Amino acid sequence: MTDQIIDKRTVAIPGPASEIPGPPGLPGVNAVPADEAVAAYVLAADSQTHAAVRFGGRDRMVVFGDSMTVSASPGSNWWQLVARRLGLDAKCYGVGGMGFSFGDRNFLAQLGAAAADSSVDRSRVRYVFVNGSSNDIYSSLTSVCDSVDSFASQAKTMYPNADLIGFAGLNGANPRWTDSEHSGSSSYRICDYQSLYDSVASHLIAAGFQVFTNSYLWLLYNFDLTQADGLHPNDQGHAVIANYVASGLANGVYSPLPSTMGASLSASNLFGVEALNRPALLNWSQDYYLWRSLPSTSDYLVLFNALAAKLSYDDVVKWGANIQKNAAGNITEVYSLDIPIARKIFPLPILNTHINMEQTRSVEINVNNVSSYNPKIYLKKNDNRLATPSDARYYLWASFDAVIVKNNSGNGMYNYNLLNSLDSSDASKTVTVSANGILRQPIMGIYNA
């Protein structure tokens, strides 16, 4: 009989047996007092007690978006990783190729699908996620902003108990730098999305969303975290996005330092395919022409050293900028040049939304080892000296105002005529033009007043 009583006490009553009267412990807590055990469960992010206390029964999350929600391997999309980490059930309504405004299953249509979905108790939804989409580059900005406003208004009504979380934009290493899916499209750079992503973020914030405003930088130019198309995150990229999101949910949604932005440890000579397919004009030697990004400041550097080309008489006449002609109309004097020095590499923009953003004077351009006056490196959209004038956008351009040298007596200076050492009938006679410098600019460009 005594054995039966002991068995009943140790089996039926939670907690270990004790000779000291007191409250029994919780199952599996190993004699920890009840209050301490409950506290441990509350603090443990992977416990059901933690979820119940933190979310107050709101144990769902829903996701709206484009291919950034569905491009990983099954079970490896960023929102699935976040849901597992938080112990939430998740439902994704995202569809590849869509945007707030773009596509027949755009984000408003996805909200309609969610409204018709009886499998999700919308009152128990804790988080609503939506991402700004690069697909909306094909819609008017006004249409996109109107759609963002409508989406936000409807989402707040449909999910009254949810925290509303937005991303200004999500993309991989570089969105749509080669894109043949849409007629009339061209190569883009991230700066071409600035007004789109900023507008999406500002409209979501105005509607009460918490927004990761620099999310488009998280994987920018990081090809290790991106699929071969340059646009979509791979599984490792989705894991990185999940880490940023989880940090924001734990500490307050913010704009974290994009420490995973690419080329942060070493420089790259990667060209966009559109620029790579253009000829390297003037046969420049490119001993060192690289770029790297700076995550701490969201800037990039373009580094070039000893880019040099030998120009013949015909070359100087073709690329001459400050020229004089004789009475017969022939060019007899050339005092400055405006020349394409190299094909554009990432991250230099192609569409040139901010045409002057790379213009800088922090460079050196020499002619036959003599420094030029007022040198600069810049971008342009067109140049009629090219066989296809619009191909000018695929090159980095260099110009200067003059080469000033001493006269023969050494007591004066004059502008040097570049044709003086050349011969129109002898292509072997050349002048050597070289360029050295560093361009440092914001990833998203700057606007000129």
pLDDT tens, position by position, 11-52: 444 444 445 454 554 555 455 676 777 767 666 766 666 656
Asked whether residue 236 is assigned to any structural domain, the reply reads yes
pLDDT digits (tens, 9 = 90+) for 283-333: 888 778 888 888 888 888 888 888 899 999 999 999 999 999 999 999 999
pLDDT band at 94, cuts 50/70/90? Answer: very high
User: What's the domain range around 315?
Assistant: 273-442
Q: Are residues 312 and 211 in the same domain?
A: no
pLDDT above 70 coverage of the chain, percent: 80
Question: 321 and 234 share a domain?
Answer: no
pLDDT of 124 > 90? The answer is yes
Is residue 189 situated within a structural domain? yes
When divided into structural domains, the chain yields a total of 2
Q: What does the alpha-carbon distance between residue 54 and residue 43 come to, in Å, rounded to a whole number?
A: 10
| Residue 200, H or E segment | helix 194-206
**Together in a domain, 246 and 303:** no
Q: Same structural domain for residues 321 and 246?
A: no
CB-side exposure of 440: number of CA atoms within 13 Å? 7
CATH of the domain at 85: 3.40.50.1110
Which pLDDT value is given to residue 357? 53
Cα distances from 81 to residues 48, 49, 245, in angstroms, run 17, 20, 10
Summary mean pLDDT of the chain = 84
Q: Tell whether the model's pLDDT for residue 139 goes beyond 90.
A: yes
- Per-residue pLDDT, averaged over 145-170, amounts to 97
In a domain, 414, yes or no: yes
The pLDDT value recorded for residue 355 is 56
CB 46 within 8 A of CB 56: no
Same domain? 221 vs 281: no
249-291: per-residue pLDDT in tens?
998 898 888 889 986 667 888 887 778 888 888 888 877 888 8
Asked if residue 208 is part of any domain, the answer here is yes
- Of 140, 130, 142, 128, nearest in space to 168 by CA: 130
What is the average pLDDT across 159-164? 96
Burial class for 70, CB neighbours closer than 10 Å (0-12, 13-18, 19+): middle
User: Is the residue at 111 inside a domain?
Assistant: yes
Question: Per this entry, what is the length of the chain?
Answer: 449
pLDDT digit string (tens) for 388-406?
998 998 898 999 999 988 7
The reply to whether 233 and 281 lie within a common domain is no
445 neighbors 349 (Cβ within 8 angstroms): yes
